[in-house]
Homo-oligomer: A and B are copies of this chain.
Amino acid sequence: MGSGEDSGVGADYPQRATIRDVAARAGVSIGTASKALNASGSLRQETRDRVVAAANELGFRPNAMAQSLHRSRSMTVGVLTTDSFGRFIFPILEALEETLAGHGIAIFMCNATDDPEREQQHLDQLLGKRIDGLLVTARRMDRRPAIAVPGKSMPVIYVFSQSDDPDALCLLPDDHGGAVLAVEHLIATGRRRIAHITGPAEFEAVTLRHQGYVDTLARAGLPALPEHYLNGLWSEAWGREAVDQLFADAATAPDALFCGNDQIARGASDALRERGLTVPQDVAVVGFDNWDVMALAARPPLSSVDMNLHRLGRAAGERLIAMIGGERIRGVERLPCSLVVRPSSAPAGHTDTTQQNQNS
Contact = CB atoms under 8 A, between A and B. Distances in A.
Interface of A: 6, 8-16, 59, 61-66, 68-69, 72-74, 76, 79, 84-85, 87, 90, 93-94, 97-98, 101, 104, 106-111, 113, 118, 121-122, 124-130, 132, 150-155, 235-237, 263, 267, 293, 297, 323-326
Nearest to A236: B297
A76 B107 CA distance: 11
Contacts of A113: 98
A271 to B, nearest CB: 11
Contact of A72 (B15, B73, B130, B155): B15
A107 B104 contact: no
Given A9-B325, A16-B153, A263-B297, A94 B98 contact: no
Contacts of A104: 125
Contacts of A121: 101
A76 B128 CA distance: 12
30 contacts: A8-B326, A9-B325, A9-B326, A10-B326, A11-B155, A13-B153, A13-B154, A14-B151, A63-B128, A64-B129, A64-B130, A65-B68, A65-B130, A97-B109, A97-B111, A101-B118, A101-B121, A101-B122, A104-B125, A106-B125, A106-B126, A106-B129, A107-B108, A107-B109, A107-B110, A108-B108, A108-B109, A263-B293, A263-B297, A267-B297
Given A121-B101, A154-B13, A66 B69 contact: yes
Contact of A61 (B111, B128, B132, B297): B128
A54 B235 CA distance: 54
Listed residue (A150, A237, A267) with the most chain B CB atoms within 10 angstroms of its CB: A150
Contacts of A74: 65
A323 to B, nearest CB: 8
A178 B16 CA distance: 43
Contacts of A14: 151, 153
Contacts of A155: 11
Contacts of A59: 150-151
Given A14-B153, A79-B109, A108-B109, 5 more contacts: A11-B132, A13-B152, A64-B125, A65-B74, A293-B293
A275 B2 CA distance: 68
Contacts of A15: 72
